[in-house]
């Protein structure tokens, strides 16, 4: 890989060499990210998009329950980088005692204002350190599309390890980057560049192997990996290649939403079996790890 902006971490993930300071990053997310509709965040979603968001959260919560089996019980959940609050809102609906942290509460105000009282705004690392000092413990921690944004993902996972119960779970989702599919598309010139490199939004880049590696190094064991819909496969056909032809982007997105809803309608068990198989072969635009503390 010849991109001089990145270097490979000893644990296998790629990282930005010249990282912003913690203050620069905090200011960026507090003042620009949600307000300017960066990443996957929007000021408004269609009903079909909202349905997919809720289905994906339900699939993950159902997977957690399946993994726990008879030992499953509802308890305290902390969403680190809670974004627009959809996971917290669904968790609360299911009876969890919820708590969220984020650099900005703009997304919560816009999408889930009813849970504002459960969310604290500020520097995520500082807020986590305070909870460590207070000896707080949680049964479930969400870390959804956060690990790739922080300057030090190793320290973040170590910090979270200190506030999860021995019987608890961390559900962590990251983009599936530098995948075999993506590199193959670049090699055969289906795409002109590594479009998934997005600085300063993404500072680290993971695949299933490096996600498991960083988890193991920070005191976690991966119980299961789920992918989501592999929208990247549209890039293998020039008629749907949204990188070569950005006009195809909205159409690819609409197709993904339709298919995610179709798959989700089959129920969480069938859908999760499908997404687990996708993760096994390295497909899926995002991957989600279900991590338990090692003892």
The HSE-up count of residue 141 (CA atoms within 13 Å, CB side) is: 29
In 3D space, the residue among 60, 171, 76, 79 whose CA is nearest the CA of residue 124 turns out to be 79
Is residue 223 predicted with pLDDT exceeding 70?
Answer: yes
**In the prediction, which pLDDT does 32 show?**
61
Long-range residue pairs from 193-201, CB within 8 A, at least 24 positions apart, any chain: 193/243, 194/3, 195/243, 197/3, 197/5, 197/6, 199/5, 199/16, 200/16, 200/20, 200/25, 200/28, 201/33, 201/38, 201/39, 201/149
Contact assessment for residue 129 and residue 123, using Cβ atoms and an 8 Å cutoff: no
Helix (H, G, I), strand (E, B) or coil at 172: strand
Instruction: With a cut of 60, say whether residue 80 has pLDDT above it.
Output: yes
Pick from 87, 93, 98: nearest CA to 146:
87
Tell me the domains of the chain and their CATH numbers. Answer: 6-293 (3.40.50.150)
The pLDDT, as a whole number, for residue 35 is 47
Give the 3-state secondary structure of residue 226: strand
Half-sphere exposure of residue 189: CA atoms within 13 angstroms, side-chain side: 0
Over residues 165-185, the mean pLDDT reads 96
Q: What are the pLDDT digits (tens) for 86-121?
A: 999 999 999 999 999 999 999 999 999 999 999 999
Residues shown for the chain: 295
* pLDDT, tens only, 29-71: 666 654 454 545 567 899 999 999 999 999 999 999 999 999 9
Chain centroid to CA 171: 9
Segment 190-219, tens digit of pLDDT: 999 999 999 989 999 999 999 999 999 999
What percent of the chain lies above the pLDDT cut of 90? 87
CA 274, CA 263: separation in Å to the nearest integer? 9
Average pLDDT, the chain: 93
């Amino acid at each position: 890989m010849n991109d001089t902006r990145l270097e490979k971490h000893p644990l296998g993930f790629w990282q930005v060499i010249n990282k912003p300071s913690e203050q620069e990053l905090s200011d960026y997310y507090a003042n620009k990210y949600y307000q300017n509709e960066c990443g996957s965040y929007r000021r408004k979603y269609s009903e079909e998009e909202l349905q997919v968001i809720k289905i994906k959260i339900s699939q993950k919560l159902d997977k957690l329950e399946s993994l726990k089996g008879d030992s499953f019980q509802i308890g305290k959940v902390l969403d680190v980088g809670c974004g627009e609050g959809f996971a917290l809102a669904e968790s609360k609906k299911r009876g969890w005692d919820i708590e969220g942290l984020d650099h900005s509460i703009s997304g919560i105000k816009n999408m889930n204002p009813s849970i504002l009282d459960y969310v604290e705004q500020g520097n995520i690392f500082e807020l986590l350190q305070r909870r460590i000092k207070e000896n707080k413990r949680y049964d479930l921690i969400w870390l959804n599309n956060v690990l790739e944004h922080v300057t030090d993902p190793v320290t973040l996972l170590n910090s979270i390890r200190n506030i999860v119960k021995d019987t608890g779970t961390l559900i962590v989702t990251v983009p599936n980057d530098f995948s075999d599919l993506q590199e193959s598309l670049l090699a055969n010139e289906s795409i002109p560049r590594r479009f998934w490199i997005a600085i300063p939004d993404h500072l680290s880049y993971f695949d299933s192997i490096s996600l498991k590696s960083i988890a193991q190094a920070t005191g976690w064991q991966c119980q299961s990996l789920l992918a989501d819909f592999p929208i990247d496969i549209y890039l293998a056909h020039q008629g749907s290649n949204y990188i070569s032809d950005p006009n195809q982007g909205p159409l690819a997105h609409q197709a993904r939403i339709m298919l995610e809803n179709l798959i989700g309608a089959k129920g969480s068990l069938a859908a999760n079996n499908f997404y687990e198989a996708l993760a096994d072969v390295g497909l899926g635009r995002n991957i989600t790890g279900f991590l338990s503390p090692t003892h």
